[in-house]
Amino acid sequence: MGTLVWALASLPALAAGPADDLSFERRRWTLVDGAPGAAIGIQQTADGLMWFASPTGLYSFDGIKFKQENQIYGHKLLSINTNVVNVHRNGSVGVGYNFGGISIISPSGARDYVAGVDFPLGTTRTISVDPDGNWYAGTTTSMVRLKDGKWIAVGRRAIPGMLESTWFDKDGALWALTGDEIYVLPKGAEDFRFVMKYGGRGAANLFMRRMHVKRADGSFVILSADGKSEPLKLANAKLYQTIVEGPNGTVVATRGEGFSRLLQRADGTWYESEFYPPVSGYGAGAGSGAVGVSMYRDREGNFWQTTLEGVEKFRLQRFHRVKRKDYIWLVQPGLDDEMWMGGYTKPMLRVRPDGSSRPTRMKAATAILRAAADHVWVAVPGGIWEFHAGAERFWAYPAQLDKAFEVQALALDADGKLLVSIARHGLWTLEHGQWRQDQRLQGLQDPTPISMLRDSRGQVWLGLTNNRLGTLTPQALTLLPAGQVQVGNVLAMADVGGRVLVGGENGVTWIDGSRARALRFERDGLVQQVSGLVRDRLGQLWIHCNSGLVVVAASALQAFWHAPAAPLATELFNFEDGVSGIAAAVRPLPSLSVDSRGRVYYATVSQAGWIDPAGIPRNPHAPAVLIQNLRAGRDDWRPANGMLLPQHTTAIDLSFTATSLAVPERVRLKYRLQGVDAGWREVTGERSAHYTNLRPGPYHFQVIAANEDGVWNLQGAELRFTIQAAFWQRAWFQVLCTLLALLAVALLYRWRIAVVKQRALALAEARAGARLEATLQERGRIARSLHDNLLQAAQTLILRFHTLNERMPQEPDLQSKLDKVLDYAEQLVASTRDEVVALRRMPSCEELFAELKAAVVATAAGAELATSFVTTGEVRPLQDDAAGEIAYVLREAVCNSARHAQPSRIAVALHFGALALEGAVVDDGVGLGIGQQPAAGHWGIIGMRERIARLGGAIDIGPGAQGGVSVCFSIPAARAYRPAASHATS
């Protein structure tokens, strides 16, 4: 079962006297709502929290939720079985326990006093603070006070009996109550003095800081510490047990299980204004759950009462309520300054400005029209009453009308006739007692106006069903174009400073000449089913709708006339302010009116009431703001500025609240986490905030709040905390990682550049080798072509010419010439054969040196100047495959030296020996490190070794005799040199 809220239902007062029309809200929380049961101790701390001490634990309450507390200010309680609580003006909290002992807890520290050790034995029954700020406590065995950290006895003699209550009065005297006796310790006295016997618990208390006691004869007396007493004037005093300060400055007397609100006559006598019986049947179980236990009034004036099964709060509401039982109310201005009001079952009242009233003969009125200060029309079942110039007459419906149907609306026509809208019978006129059906609406579907208005210019407006609105001329009803008015059924109209406003099921519209401009509101869906529209003397617009009474400030209304598209800011008054019930769905209408003093009256199906716009009670107390808990992972932390959260914390939940207890549902809260939130975020549900993906570092969390009247606490509450960083999240580690990353990028860049350069060098070498290989191949091709084609053809021709020469006749001259030609041809063939042999031979040493220099230039420009080439022995032609391999090895060795060794000299040598061809490439560069072997493929070593091995030779690569690197190879003569025969013949 949820929280129960209702307006206080009252029974007739027992004592005669003028009654006021104040209305109160009574709200109840039971065990099902988490409220404590049988709480004896009630207090409020400076932060606005309510505290309840009960046998089931100590509870705090922020107006929204009860919370059982096992600690205060971070200090753990001695026990959950608490009995009493009190608050020192310095913020310290005293908690007494049922099994003895007391805790004094402050934000700066706590001290527990254990029963039988440093505190008296027995249940701690009372905790008090004297005007000087000293703690006093009473147990079932003694009365003590705290001095210099120790509890010492109060008075030289112990009070007989078991203490029930203690108080300090306005004079500083200490009053102590036992089961049936009263004692007092005047300020400065050393001993308690017996005062009187009394009726026991609940029959004496401190009221207006003076001791009030109910005597055995039922009367009440006011006691003073000096022994004097005076009677309390209270009508029917025997009915009441005690008198206390009630909600918002009122006075309350307990009566049985309920309570009565008291008023005071001019002679000082208190009398009962209203009685509020206990509420039964709403507890968590059967029985006397509503029996009062303790009472308290908070700083906002709310009155709290604990019961056996929960907690109740009584609060003065803003609206005054007409104290009369009836339903289906109608309230409108009557004659002169009177307000006429009534319901369906009882006679209508004529209420004067001073609050006095007299009844009329009218019941169940459905419409009232004030034509002038001395002229009023009232529609009731069966006809219409006319009050004019001190006379009153009743005009019955014409015979042809069905008397079961009621009047829907009244208005004056432009010529002064009374317009009467009758349900299911359309529009009628009444003039000089004559009824006539108005023909101007003939032919119109559903011609019964729901509402009618004669504006300040004398124009008559009729509102009908289905968005139909029109003006009534002497000839006809002129409807506004279809689709302009979108309010649904037109239920209410008002002339606001010469501007016509129309209200209906879908909102409010301003008729701006020939255009309809809908009023837009900041809160969507706020205004629906509009049954009343009025403007008060402050220029504010009041709208009665399903949500309650919506008020548009005069400044906002003026802005709307100039900028109709802008949404309007509003203030809402509803059941929490004393507006109970809903307006009648069909009639009586309208449901709002303004009296001669500017008070706004409302009427619903269940009650009527009023409020003075110029004197609306406001709550001046800005709410206190509390940050209650911080949750990180599975751990809960008590918020404290400067707190450190552990490493790896990335998500947190923050719980907070604001303690405005009058109307806590209207409290507004905003929060932000600086560095995370771009701006303030408004709370729309739970009073908490959730953050994820938080990085290590300092944070600043803030909460602000406003009460129901918009009074902001802009200082609010704040929490500064730091999430500790893991080592890998610290700045030095991140800087180091950044530097390492940059170093890695630099190394990667250098490696990439080296790879690109190596690839470029390899490509250049490959191209040089390819050019050499291509040259050799081209030479071989040309040689083969000359040998296989030209020389063979020439030899064939020579042979044929020899044959022809032998067969020719003997002509010496011709043969001589032909022999010369053949000799020349053979010389040409021999010469050509020599050229072919030259093409197919190994390039000369000069050519090889030129090729090597070209390769060195491509590899490392400038290194060719340091390169020398020497041959020894008789140069012999090489075999084709040997020539190519030797050229590759020399080129690879020379290029490696030029590229890697940074030499100042590269010596290339070839020795043509009889048994072998020997070659060497020696540089004076950086050489190899001690024991270092070049990585495979780094200098083409594998290729050089493989090529020399294919020729049956051997190669040695290592440090030179005088530094640098030496590459030496040897190839057997049989594999290196071309045989002499192959060189001599083709």
Is pLDDT above 80 for 22?
yes
Of 385-394, 833-842, 862-871, 894-903, highest mean pLDDT: 385-394
Query: Which pLDDT score, from 0 to 100, does residue 429 have?
Result: 95
The domains located in the chain, with CATH, are 4-318 (2.130.10.10), 330-615 (2.130.10.10), 624-726 (2.60.40.10), 730-840 (no CATH), 844-986 (3.30.565.10)
Is pLDDT above 70 for 784?
no
Tell me the CB-side half-sphere exposure of residue 660, using CA atoms within 13 A.
26
pLDDT above 70: percentage of residues in the chain? 87
Summarize pLDDT for 422-458 with one digit per residue, the tens: 999 999 999 999 999 999 998 899 999 999 999 999 9
Query: Which pLDDT score, from 0 to 100, does residue 762 have?
Result: 74
- Return the closest-CA partner of residue 303 out of 265, 259, 271: 259
CB neighbour list of residue 274: distance below 8 Å, 6 or more residues apart: 8, 10, 11, 13, 19, 260, 261, 323
Q: Once rounded to an integer, what is the mean pLDDT over residues 96-105?
A: 96
Kindly report each contact of residues 922-926 with a partner whose C-beta sits within 8 Å and lies 24 or more positions away, as own/partner.
Answer: 922/960, 922/964, 922/965, 922/966, 922/967, 923/897, 923/960, 923/964, 923/965, 924/960, 924/962, 924/963, 924/964, 925/897, 925/900, 925/901, 925/963, 925/964, 925/965, 926/900, 926/901, 926/902, 926/964
Contact assessment for residue 509 and residue 502, using Cβ atoms and an 8 Å cutoff: yes
Residue 914's CB: how many other CB atoms inside 10 A? 9
Q: Three-state secondary structure along 661-718?
A: CCCHHHCEEEEEECCCCCCCEECCCCCEEEECCCCCEEEEEEEEEECCCCCEEEEEEE
Q: How confident is the model at residue 929 (pLDDT cuts 50, 70, 90)?
A: low
Residue 320's CB: how many other CB atoms inside 10 A? 18
- Cα dist from 839 to 121, 273, 976, whole Å: 129, 139, 18
Q: Determine the Cα–Cα distance for residues 452 and 454; give it in Å rounded to an integer.
A: 7
Summarize pLDDT for 106-118 with one digit per residue, the tens: 999 999 999 999 9
Query: Which pLDDT score, from 0 to 100, does residue 809 have?
Result: 63
Q: How confident is the model at residue 875 (pLDDT cuts 50, 70, 90)?
A: confident
Q: Once rounded to an integer, what is the mean pLDDT over residues 374-393?
A: 94
Q: Once rounded to an integer, what is the mean pLDDT over residues 489-507?
A: 95
Query: Which pLDDT score, from 0 to 100, does residue 787 have?
Result: 61
Query: Which pLDDT score, from 0 to 100, does residue 926 have?
Result: 84
Summarize pLDDT for 629-670 with one digit per residue, the tens: 999 999 999 999 999 999 999 999 999 999 999 999 999 999
Q: How confident is the model at residue 17 (pLDDT cuts 50, 70, 90)?
A: very low
Of 323-327, 461-465, 817-821, highest mean pLDDT: 461-465
Q: Once rounded to an integer, what is the mean pLDDT over residues 687-709?
A: 96
Is pLDDT above 80 for 12?
no
Query: Which pLDDT score, from 0 to 100, does residue 60 have?
Result: 97
Q: How confident is the model at residue 160 (pLDDT cuts 50, 70, 90)?
A: confident
Q: How confident is the model at residue 933 (pLDDT cuts 50, 70, 90)?
A: low
For residues 552 and 808, the model is more confident at 552
- Return the closest-CA partner of residue 574 out of 611, 599, 541, 539: 611
pLDDT above 90: percentage of residues in the chain? 63
DSSP state of 779: H
Query: Which pLDDT score, from 0 to 100, does residue 15 have?
Result: 39
Q: Once rounded to an integer, what is the mean pLDDT over residues 946-952?
A: 88
DSSP state of 205: E
How far from the centroid of its chain's Cα atoms is residue 26's Cα?
A: 32
Is pLDDT above 50 for 546?
yes
- Cis peptide leading into residue 590 (ω within 30°): yes
Query: Which pLDDT score, from 0 to 100, does residue 792 have?
Result: 63
Summarize pLDDT for 176-207 with one digit per residue, the tens: 999 889 999 999 899 999 999 887 767 888 99
What backbone phi and psi angles, to 5 degrees, belong to 190? Answer: -105, -15
Average pLDDT, the chain: 87
Query: What pTM was computed for the model?
Result: 0.73
